[in-house]
Structure 1
């Protein structure tokens, strides 16, 4: 048992102490979102922008913090239009690099509504992405894909939760620090 614990400790230590290729940067860009499941009944598409900071912990792991603005346009049903909804999601998470330019990411946080009468929701999002290096600089193009959900208690029944979910596609520019 002690041997297995020692091996696990050495493995984790090697991941977090390999600092030769840390990723620390700031990125900003645009997003397009496609509501999924029941969320697609309220909106067909969302647009927004984001700002994300990344602090390298090791060659494989980074901490992330992001803020964005997302607007989901209301959908028209039989002459009536559902209202558009705007949110400011604020999240933090962990990014894992499988290769130098490909990553897996998970973030948690809050989706703060910018409209009246809507509750703040718990935001969660797993995703993947890749960097494309630009010529003549260390800056990169970031292309990402994620599933995101905003879970909150129901307005009608506080014992039930609802989740507004969507697939987000991100395109941004990343500045190295």
Structure 2
């Protein structure tokens, strides 16, 4: 007989629940990264792109690559589930999908920061742009990582 713990669920029941929760979370991030990546792909075809300086073009290329990698990481859990479905490895699949999602969120943060940097550089040419981007990145880090980790540490039952 399997040992039950926490929510009084088996390892397989827990994996099923965690999988459903993870996929719901990934849907939100996937939509955002796919829309952002789609817009990024169109920039190179705009007339203004030809007038960008070398630095801005480099920022754009880095941003597109970050967007592509974020998209891959955030879609990865779906492919992982499809390829291992029915193989009785759901607990392991949930762990790997969770890691992919975390990596995807970090890459999404980098993509958004680079996008914001490029847009603000083109729109303003202001020296304050890196500082403004840094403040926004700190906000994302606070909302996406610090607050959740603080909550986990403070309220996790031992």
**Smaller-chain TM-score bracket:** under 0.3
| Higher helix residue share | 2
Higher strand share: 1
Q: For CA contacts below 8 A with separation 6 or more, give which structure has more relative contact order.
A: 2
